Structures are given as structure tokens and as C-alpha cells.
Structure 1
């Protein structure tokens, strides 16, 4: 995801600020308080919400603008372009996300854009500043290695801080060989208390004996209490039985009577229901006879008033036609209006046809496609044609402007080129300056040359004398040695010693060669060559001194300096000319783009004109007007067709109404050949008469139907009552009414017995004795005697209980006396208290130890699975940043931290590196974390002045590395002007202090 534009409504000191065309690598440069931190906070706020008032972060609420917030336009890899707008609202602000395809959402859609990142994780991975590097400055020893490891896992020092905190908490509570930690201290105190407690226990054996005796007495007392409870419960039940004995015996008698009567099946309230049915049957018979007489009379009256059935059958159609008579007059008026409007439409169509002047008939015009899409295409093509004309005019103006500028620069270039020296002339001046061609210097140099000629002349004379003397000496030596060798040779011949002869001959040959070389005199040695060179130089210096063309060296140097300045100016003009050529070429390319777009638009215009059947000469200038006239023609044509259809429909409806009215007048009226109005009047009267007959007949029929319905209802009710009475007899399983009443008397007696039994059971349900206990108590005949025995046993047990309680009180007193000494009880209390405190501290220690162990295992898993790939990329970055001086990053064998390997394979811990190298390692790890483990999350990387401590070389290398990170957009904020030399001008946005931007 990349940020393309931002618009700040109001945020801190920034008010209505717009920044457009943000590049993939964008630099924000400005002095302190120019707004860099505000823009970074704004980006974080739009992405993740404004800080709440309870948080410690700055909210950047504007002081002079009521509108708080702004929006960002971003380009997402999957969802395309989107606008994220956040303004003042509840808690973190109200956010609205709008995609280019029209999708609108809020926080959920924003989380999808940000790939579920929260603010803390985003700042840890993709946003870092000078604070991370300053943390390295403040650390010592192994803390630096742990910090770098934490930066490689979470992007911040959170991991190292958490690990250090857990280690500190664990060590502060317990160490195996420690004394000061809390648990160690409590274990020592508990051990001492345990020794003292054992000593006190040895002195209190009597106390233990009393405790045991007290327990035995307590057990016996509890047993006696249990026996008392059992006896009391038995006595209570016996007294309860004395109360309910009569009810239990009556219950048994009632159940026996019910069993003797046996099972009786008789309807509930059978006698009452039978008498009620007999009271209903007799009145039903009288009503049936009366209704039958009334039905007969009504049938006779209906026969006397009978309407015309054929008229009534067609009554609805006749009434429909009569009701349409006012419509007939309206249709006449509407027909006249339609004829007038039709004439008006034809005149309009004729006018439009003259304006269009197309060789098309009406059907062909109607076949032309004028839907919404075509209309949109026509409008777009027309607007684009107009826009292309405006762009062309603008390009022509810009072309002329760039051309004039180019010609002016070329003129300046020619002028500048004419003012500078030629190559030969400049070389001549430089040679003159180099040689130092002034009189004093030449005289000094000439005297020096004369001195050297005199020196070498004297040296030559001495060499000649020396050589002559040496030549004579060597000549005598060689001749003497040659005579000796000749003597040896002669002796060898005489004595026939051929070896001696051979060696003597070789020696003579060598002496001859040596003599040949030694006796030759050198033609010209080095002294002669140097002497000749100095004499030539003396001649040249004399010639220069004799020539009167001496020059001022300072004037020559000034001419050369002026020529250099002109060359620099010429170079600047060339650069400007090169840039102007590029601008000129851009305008030419814009012209080419315009021609391509114009050709495409023209082709599209011709295609649309063919579809609209409009000639080319009209389409070029009046396509939209022609399309609108065609639309207007089709609209009026459709209205005209509808009007013609309506006129035909009116004529048809009028004819239909006249024919139908004549048909019914001929069929039902005695008069013939009547006009429409007279026929309608007579048919309406005929309808009223027949309708009155029908109403009267209908009333009689309704009355008759009601009576017949009443007759059927009464018969059904009579039959229903009789059926219900028969059901009672069948339910009682009897054949006649007499047997039914006898069975009813037995059922009534059985019901009263059940009622009494129910009353008895109600009395017994509150008794504490269950049914089984009541059955067992029926066998008891001397209940009072048993109760008396129970009372005697209770008195005996209470006496024994009293003695035991007195003995228990005595033992408690003795124990109290022993405990008042306080030694054993106090020590026991202290021991238990210390033991409880130790257990609580151990629980708390185990929590921190488990957390530390879990963190360590998580780190080890991370080191084995994810860290190698990240370290490979970090090594690549570090190798580049350090020019190959450091090439490997190794994990520590145990714990957290790194070892850095130099090019000579020497390993360094992080704290052994220089400060700048440590910072380079940190930068490499942070960038590798974002580009490997989070490579699928291409969110912007925000960097705030993190390299100000680097020298020029390190700064250049880190900038080159950032430019190579093409997967993520990089937003770099700085207040250091010297860093701008590493970026192109179009990649830098300058922020002016206390001024609104509108870029």
C-alpha cells in the first residue's frame, strides 16, 4: 500500500494543507517546528485513530480551526485506490473509507486495508526514528546484543526489556545459592522456626496427652448426643401415633367399603344431565311444526312476483353501457383535442427534420440507438473534443514559450563559446605562466646554466687527463701478461703438454679481446652530452632575453582565471540548455500524446456517428446537437404514435358503445328506431322496474331461506340432544332409562365414600409418620408403656453426659494453663504464618519463572524457524553498508544476542563494535525485518532523521540502500539540508516554518 495524497483539515499547527503526488521515495525537509512530526502523527492518527485524552500521546488538536482531522488517498495492491478520512468524533475519531469502485466502509474496511496491523505493531516494524539509535548509545555490555535481537524480532526493544524484567523478578525472589532474595530469606527463617518448634514440642508431651484425652471425651459426648436424638425421635413418633390412630383405622374401613362396591362406570353428573336432555326434546318438536307452516305461505307469495330473467341476466352489461354515456361525450371532446395536438406534433417533426437534414425516414430514425450509454458516449466524446482543443491551444502556447527559451539559451551558448580561449591559445598562456617568462627569472636561470657549463667543462678536462694516464698503465700490464702466456705456450709445445698449450692459447685470445676493448677511446661520454644540452639551453635563454616580448605573469593568470569563469558559465548554460531540451522534448511528446488521443477520439467519434447515422461533416462539429435533435425527434415521434393510437381507440370505443346500446334497445324496448339518448333513458327505467321486482323477490327468498335454515338447525339440535341422551345410556352400559337411574344411585354412594377417604388422607398428610410406619404401629397395643421406658433411658443418658462435660471442662482448663505459657502456641502460629507466606511467594515466583521460560522457548523457536531468513537479508544489507568489512551475523549459542563476523573472520559481540557500526547493524536488522518476515505487508516505511550520526560515506551508503527497497514506499523526514544532495529535486517536499503548505 502506498500513500498518494494527503489533505490535512486541521492538525496541530497545520491548517488546510494538501500534499499531492507523493512518490515511492518521498523526502520531507524542514526546519524544527516546520511540521514534520505533525505530519507523521497525522499519518498514524488517520490509520489507527487519534489518541484519547486519557493517553499520554499528543492529540495535535488545532488551536484556530474547528475542523480536526483529514484524509489520505492510498493505492492498495488488491483493493485499488481508496480514500481514508478521519475527523473528530467518539474516542479515536470517526473514520470513513471509500474505494474507487463505490464501496464505503469504516473501521472494518480500514483494518482490511492495513492488513489487521495495529498502531504499536506498525510503529515497531515500519516506523523508526533516532530514539532506537539513541537507545544503543545508552546501553552497555551484553544489553546491546539483546537490544539488537529484540529489534530483529519485534522491531523494538520490548523483547529485551521484557526478558530483563522477568529475569530481575525471578532473581529478586529466589536464587539457589542466594541469601538476600525473598524466598531464600523466608526458607532460612522457616528452618530456624522449625528447630525452635521441635524443642518446644519436646517439652509439651503432657500437653499432647491432654489433647488426646480431650478428643476421646468429645467423641463419647457426641455419641451420647446421637443416642438422645434417636430416643427423642422415637418418643415423638409414638406420641404422633396416639393422635392419628383413629383416622388410620377409619381409612382402612372406608377402603374396604369401596372395594365391596366394586368398579362402577357411570357418567359424571349422569342424573342431572339426563333430566336436562328430557326438558329440551319437547320444545324442539313444537318449533318444527310452526316453522313448516310459515315456509309454505312464503312459497306461494314468491310465485306471484317473478322478474324478467333475460333482462336481469344482461342487467350488468346494460348498466355498464348506460354509465358510459357521459364518457361518450368526453370521448367526442377528446377526439377533437387529439386531432389538434396531432397536427402540432407533425409541425414540430417537420421542423426537426429540416434542422437535421438527414436522408432518413421515420422508422430509420427510430432504429437509431439513443440509450443512456450512447448518450453518455456522445457527451464524453464531445467534452473530450472540446478539452482536446483547449489542451492543443495550451500546448501551442507552451511550445512557443519553450521554443523561445531554447533559442535564447542557444544564443547565450554561442556568445559564451565565442568569449572563451581556444585550446591552443589557452595551452600557450598556461605554458607561459608555467615557464615563468619574466626577465629576472630568465637572468637567474641563464647565470645558473653558465655555472653548470663551466663546471662540466672543467670536469671534462680532468677526465681526459685521467684517461690518458690510465691507458698507458694498462697497456704495459697487458703486454707483460701476454709475454708470460706466450712463454707457457712455447713450453707446452716443447714438452708436448697439450693442455698447457691449449690454456695458454685461450688466455692469449682473452687478453687480445680485452686489449681491443680497453684500447678503444670513447667517442662521447655523458659529460659531453650534458655539456651540449646546457649550451643549447644557454642559447635559448639568450634569445628570450634578447626578444623584447616580456609578459606580466599576474596578468596572464588573471586572463586564465577569467577564462575559467567563462567556461563555468558556459557549462551552466549547457546544463540549462540540456534541461530546456528535455522540457522542449516533453512538450513535443505531449503533442504526440495529444495527437494520439485526438486520433483515438476522432475514431470513436466516427464510430458513434456511424451508429447514429450522422454524416461525418456534421459529427465533427455538431455531434451532441445532432444527437439531442434525434432524441427530440424520437420523443415527439413516440408521443405522435401514442396520440394516433389513442385517436383510433376513441373512435373504436364510440362505435362499440353505439352498437351495444342499439342491440339492447332492439331486444328489450317495444319502440324501434330511437336515438341514443332516448334509448338510454328507456333502458334505465326498465332496469329500475326489474330491479324492484328482483329486490322484493330476493327479500322473500331470503326470508324463506332463513326459515328453512332455522328448520334445519332446530332439527339438528333435536337430533343432537337425542344422540347425547343415547350416549349417556351407552356410557352407563344400560338398556333403558330405569336401569340408568338405579346405577346412578350406586355411583353416588361410592362417590361419597371417596370424598370421606380424601378428607381422612388430608388429615393424615400432615403427620410425620409415613405409611410403612403407620402399618408397623398398628401392631402396638401398649404405647404408653414404651414411651415411659424411653423417658427413663433419656434420664440415664443425660446424667452420664453431665459427668463427661464436667470432666471435659477440667481438661480444657489444664490445657489452657499449658498454653498460657505461649512458647509452643506462638511458635506454631509463627511457623504456619511463615509457611503460608513462603507458599504465596513461591506461587508468585512460579508465575514469573513460567513466563520467563515460555518467553525463552518462544525465542528459541523463532531463532530456528523465522530468524535465519531475516538474518540472511540483514547480512546482505550490512555487507553493503560497511563496504564488505562486516559480512556475517551469527546467533549467540544461548540466550539472545548476536555475534558480528568481520571480513578477516574475527567475531565481535555487539558491545565490542564501534558506535557507528552498531547503528549500521541496527539499521540492517530493522530493514531486513520489514522486507523478509513482513514482505507480504507492503506498508509505507516511515523514517525520522535516523542517520544524523553517520559520516558522509555511511550516509551515502544507507541512502543507496533505501533507494533499493522498491517493494515499500519510504517516507523520510529530515531537518538536515546536507542530506538533500542524495535525492532528486522532485522527490523532496520542503516544509516552511509556520506556513501552510499547498503542494
Structure 2
């Protein structure tokens, strides 16, 4: 199963939002608070129901008050289903629609479609988050087994409930540390009654001494009986080995004399070789006789020598003659292609000599680059023309300025003389006012003097028409110079951009004016290069065809090996003509040639059969085969004798092979017999003592008090036995249910562990190579062979272990439970290299299960091909 589309009506921060997914690797990229956890909870809520209002933090009710819920389109076994869920009782109101058949289905069908996955299993395995990965520190083998049972066996929930009920019933009967269960109480009563009986027997020291001695003697008796039984078997085996020793020595001699002989040298193989040799002799004699007749007829028919060779190899040459018209055409085509390639290569070399730089041709412009070059060239032309006009204007202004310069030096300024006069008059008035008697008159005179001087200096214009014209020329010159500098900067910028384009396309050594012609040459060179490659490919095909034909001709007719190929074709055409002529002739030559051909074929077949027969046995001659055949017959005789001896010795043979000498075997047999005698004597002594002690105990236990206590103890033990049987029934039935469910799914556990080991090796760059489930914990093997418990791993490495196990569970169970794997920022504790390894692993398993990765890591898109990449902030 995989999800095709998520449509959110209102869920958390999302409203009226749709996400399209593919069946493979999907990446949803977004920073914190972009809604990654919201989407994870949305998928779980739509498929399995909204949490109750007792857990508002898990409901993700819309923040903007829009309709609470959404819909999911999923594909299951080739059928599309639309699941929509909105706010309502018991996890929300659900509608289910079969899109493939356009059929509405009851909402109760949804859990059956998703079975055996429920909300809890989806959360524990398929929805991977960083907090859940940390639970690997407390994970156990039993948790994985329970998940497997839940998925691997239909109806396992009922049987698991029955097993739990039986466990509770058994615990009500007995608990190792309990007091209230019935069997615990009976054990306590048994302990108290035993103590009372012991107290009653405390006065009988003799009784306890005899009872202890009886127990010890019984143990010793049982031990001696067991030892005696074992020792008698050992002694009996040694006796049998002594009887078999002569046969074993004969078997050893045969074993040393045997040499291994390979298969293929049986009597039927010898008969086959003899039949093949007779066949070769008969066909060779017939061929020689026919060859002699043909030679006589050829002398009469005067056939060319090449035709005589042809008659011996017609089976090889006839197929070549059928190919002759095609090969002739191919030869002409090869010459034409060689000439075309030479012409094209010459034209391309001419262009390379003209435009290539250090053996590298420039690159062609794109349409945008061509348009840009044209724009820059036009702007540069206009800028050059403008600069030329400004330079001419500057030269004219400089010439005018130069012509006015000498005249200005000779001219006087009458107004400047007037300024001096006004200044002198003001000074006179100022000095004269100082001589006046009254202060008011002095002040008025001083002001008048200053006014006269100011008028003379600042009011009277000291410039002349010539100076004003000179100033105008200077201003014009500075303006033109500024325009020239601006034009130079523009031209430099345009030239620099053109130089960059030229350097980028390998045209830096050519003027811009030649770029157009160079581009045409580059296009022509590219077209020539493509034609050369196509011509070379055609020529290679034709060359291979011609050379294959030529090699076949040389193998069949060695006399044509040193002949030019055109002459070879002529010879073959002549041979074909001769053949055609002979086909239309009647007579002894044609009949004899045909018979010789058949006989040569028969000889070749018989000879090949012998060669194949010998090669399959790594031999070069029939003599070597007959030598091996004789060895094989001798080996068969020895093998039969050795097998008969081994059968006669039976199970004693492996034991005799461990004995070095006959004296050693005799010594072992004697020691075993003596040990049997000694043990029998000890057993007789202990049995006699037990009879004496039993009589004494019977006499001592005749007391009524002891008899009553023993009876009560016997009754209590009977009651304990009944309760124990009931406890065993409940416990064994519970274990039987667990074993049955484990048989339905437990075969997948080794496969999951093996797959998880492979994934864990990829995630840790083969630093850890194997995962093992113990009865209480998980442990991993390092590359150097040392084992580490999960508690000994770093947080990131432990989370990578849990990540590998969950991915392995999803992949192995994909045939039965094809649920998508949703990862919500679960790789935050991975370092950069292992995070990239995790991304590659997710891309690899996406061909088995759908992967939906929600992450804030922007590096996930770098170098990782994803079928679907979405940005949550768009």
C-alpha cells in the first residue's frame, strides 16, 4: 500500500492544502514549525482515527476554525481508495470510497484494509520520530516478537488474550514470591508439617543416622549400577574390537593400496571409445578410396587446385559462398566510407588549423550570446564614432584657445586702471575725514571713503570681451574632456564584456570583427565532426563484417591467407562459377565429389567425437585412456573388497581407527574387564548394607506419632500435586499458544535481524557489521569482532540501530504489510556522513516501501535523487 494524495481541510496550521505523493521516495522540506509533525499526525489520524479530547495536544484542531479533518487517497493491491475523516464521535466520521470501481464502501471496511496494522503498530514501527528512536535503550527481544505475532498471524489478538487469561489463572495458583496463591499456601503448610515431623524425629538420633546412611547408600548404589552398566558396555566393545582386529588390518592394507581414479573410465566408456575408433577407421578408409577415385577423375576433368581444396572443406566454404554478394557490396561500401572519412577529416583539419587554440576548437555561441555580442558590438561602434567626434571638437577648441593666448597678453585693461583710481579716491576721502573737527563728520567721511573704494573694486567690472571669450573656451574644453573620459569608460566596459565572452568561448585570440566568420566555421566543424563519427561507426561495422568473412576464408582455405582481399573475392567467385558448372554436369566427377564430401563429413564427425570423448577426461590419446581404464578396474575390485570388510566391521570401524596398536587395544580391554569386576564387588557390598539399614529403620518407625505426621504429610503432598498439575496445565497451554503464534511469524525474525544488520552496516559505514537478539537485550558486533550492548553505544549510534531495525521490519514485512514509512526529523542526532548514508538507504528501500521523509535538513536534496521534493513553506 502507498499514499497518493493528502488533502487537508483543516488540521493544525494547515487548511485547504493538498500534497501529491509518489510510490517511492518523497521528501517534504521545511524549517521548525513548518508543519512536519502535523503532517505525520495527520496521516495517522485519517487512517486510524482522531485522539480523544482528553488529549488535545494530539488532536491538532485547526487554528483558524476551519473544518477539522481531511482525506487520503491510497493504493492497495492495484485499487485506489479515498479515505476521508472529519470531526465526530469515536475517532471521527469516516467515509470510504473505491475510486477504481467508483463504489462507496462501509466505513467498517477500513480497519480490515489496514489490518493487521493498527494505530499502535503504526506509531511504533512506521512513524519514525527522534523521541521514539531513543526507546532502543529499553527495547527487548519480546517486544519485537509481539509485533511479529500481531502482524504474522490472523486472529492473534484473541489467542494472546487467552494466553494472558491462562497466565493470570496460573499466577492465582502459584507465584515464586507470592503468599496468597493456593500452592504457595500449601508449600508453607508443607514446610510447617515437615518441621513438625523433623521435631518429632529429633529424639531418634539413630533413626536420622540410619536414614542418612540409607540415602547415601541408595545414591551410591544407583551410581555404581550406572557405572557398572557403562563399564560393561565398554568392556564388550573392546572384546568386539579385539575380534575385529585382523579384519581391520586387512582393511588398512587395502586402503593404503588404493589410488583415486576419476569417473569416466568404466566398461561402457571403453566400449564407446572402441566403437568410435572403428567408426574413424571405416570412414577414413572409405574417404581415401573415394579421394583416389576423385583424383583420377580430376586429372581427366582438369579441375583447378583451389577447387580440389574446396572439395575437402565444402561444409565450411559453402556458407561463405552464399555470403559472397553481400561481402562484395560491403567491400565497396568500406572503400567509399574510407574515402568519405578522409575528405571530412581533411576539411575538419583545415578548420582546426585556422581557428583551434592548442588543439581545442572554440565553442559556438548560443542564440542569447549571439544577440548580446551584436548589441555590444553596435554599442561599441556608436561609442567609437562619438569619441571620434568629441576628439575633433576638442582639437578645434584647443586650436582656438591657442590662437587667443598671445593676443590676451598684449591687451591692456582700461577698466582696471579705473578701479585703481576709484580706490585712491576712496582712500583720500577716508584720510581727509580724519581731519574734520566733529566726530559725526569724521564718521560720515570714513563711510563715504569706504563706499567709494568698494564701488571701485567690486562694482566696476574689470573684465574685457576677450577674457570672457577665453573663459568660455576653457569651459567648453573641460566639458568635452569630461565627455571623452565618460566615453572611454563606456568603451572599456563594452570591450571588457566582449573579451569575457571571447575568453569563455575560446575566441580570445581573434578580433571581434572575425567572430561571425569563426562562428560559421565552428558550426561547420561540429557538423563535420558528427559526420566523421557516424562514418567511423559505419566503417567499423563494415570492417568487422569484412574481417570476419576474411578470417573464415583463411581458416577454410589457407592458400588464400596471403592474397589481397580483392583477389580473394575473385578466387571465390571463380570457385563459385566452377561449382555451378559442375552442378550442371552429369558424370562420375560430380557423384564422386558428393560422396567424398559426405565421407569427409563423417570422418570429421567421428574424429570430433573421439576428441570430445578424450577431452572430457583430460586425456590426449586412446592409449592413456586404456591405462586409466585398467586402473579403474583394479580400483573397483579393491573398493569392493574394502567395502565388504567395512560392512563386516560395522560400527566398530571408526573406533578401531582410533587405536594405534594391538597391544594398546589388549591393554584397554584388560583394564575394562578388571574395572567391571571391581564395580560388581562394590555394588554387592552396598546392596547388603542397604538391606540391613532398611530392617533397622522399619523397626524404628513403628511409632504412632511419626506415622500420623507422615500420613498428614502424604495427604498434603497429594493436594499439592493436584494444584501443581492445574498450574502446569494453565502454564503449558499459555506457552503452547505463544509457541503456535511464534511459528506463524517467528520465521521472519531471523530475516529481519539479517536485513537490519545490513542496513546498520550501511548507516555506520561498516563500523558495526552484525546485530544479535539475546533473551533480554540487543547487542551489536564491531568491525574488529567485539560485541557491544545498546547501553554501551552513543545516543546517535543507538538511534541508528533502532532506525535500521524498524526499516528492516518494514521491508521484510512489505509482502504482508505494505505500509508507508514516515520519518519526522528522526535523524537529528546523526552526524553529517551517517545522515547522508541514511538518505541513501531510504532511497534504496523506496523500491520496496513508500518513504515519506519530513526534514529541516536542506542538504537532503544535494546529490540525492528523489522522486518527489516538496517545500512546506511554499
- Give the TM-score band, short-chain normalised: 0.3 to 0.5
CA radius of gyration, larger in: 1
Q: TM-score, normalised by structure 1?
A: 0.30
Q: TM-score, normalised by structure 2?
A: 0.34
